[in-house]
Structure 1
Amino acid sequence: MIQSVRRFATGAAVLLAGLAVPAAFAQASTWTIDPAHSGVEFSIKHLGVSTVRGSFSGVTGTVVWDDKNVGASHVEAVIDAKTVNTGQEKRDEHLKSPDFFDVNQYPTLTFKSTSVKRNGDGKLQIVGDLKLGGQTKPVTLDVDGPAAPQKGMGGKLVSGFSAVGTIKRSDFNFGQKYGAPTLGDEVRFTIDLEVAKQ
Structure 2
Amino acid sequence: MTMPALTDLTGTYALDPAHTRIGFVARHAMITKVRGSFGEFDGTLQLDGADPSKSRVAVTIKTESIDTGNEQRDVHLRTNDFLDAPAYPRITFTSTGAEQLDDSRFRLSGDLTIKDTSKPISIDFEFTGTAQDPFGNQRVGFEGEVAISRKEYGMTWNAALEGGGVLVGDRVVLEFDVSAIKQS
TM score, norm. by length of structure 1? 0.82
Q: Distance in 2 between matches of 1:19 and 1:47?
A: 43
Equivalences for residues 77-116 of structure 1 within 5 A: 77-116=59-98
| Equivalent residue in structure 2 for 1:139, among 116, 121, 127 | 121
Q: Distance in 1 between matches of 2:157 and 2:4?
A: 54
Report the equivalent of 1:24. 8
Decide which structure has the larger Cα Rg and report it.
Answer: 1
Report the equivalent of 2:176. 191
How far the C-alpha of 1:99 sits from its partner, in A, is 1.4
Equivalences for residues 42-121 of structure 1 within 5 A: 42-120=24-102
Q: Following TM superposition, where does structure 1 have runs of at least 4 consecutive aligned residues deviating by more than 2 angstroms?
A: none
Q: Give the structure with the larger helix fraction.
A: 1
TM score, norm. by length of structure 2? 0.88
Q: 1:115 to 1:131 in 2, by over 3 A?
A: same
Q: 1:59 to 1:125 in 2, by over 3 A?
A: same
Q: Is the 8 A contact 1:39 1:58 kept in 2?
A: no
Report the equivalent of 2:157. 177
- SS for the counterpart of 1:35 is coil
Tell me the number of residue pairs that the alignment of Structure 1 and Structure 2 aligns.
177
- SS for the counterpart of 1:92 is helix
Report the equivalent of 2:136. 155
How far the C-alpha of 1:88 sits from its partner, in A, is 0.8
Report the equivalent of 1:4. none
Q: Give the structure with the larger strand fraction.
A: 2
- The one-letter code sitting in structure 2 at the alignment partner of 1:98 is N
Unpaired runs of 5+ in structure 1? 1-17
CA RMSD of aligned residues (A): 1.9
Q: 1:21 to 1:120 in 2, by over 3 A?
A: closer
Q: Distance in 2 between matches of 1:76 and 1:87?
A: 27
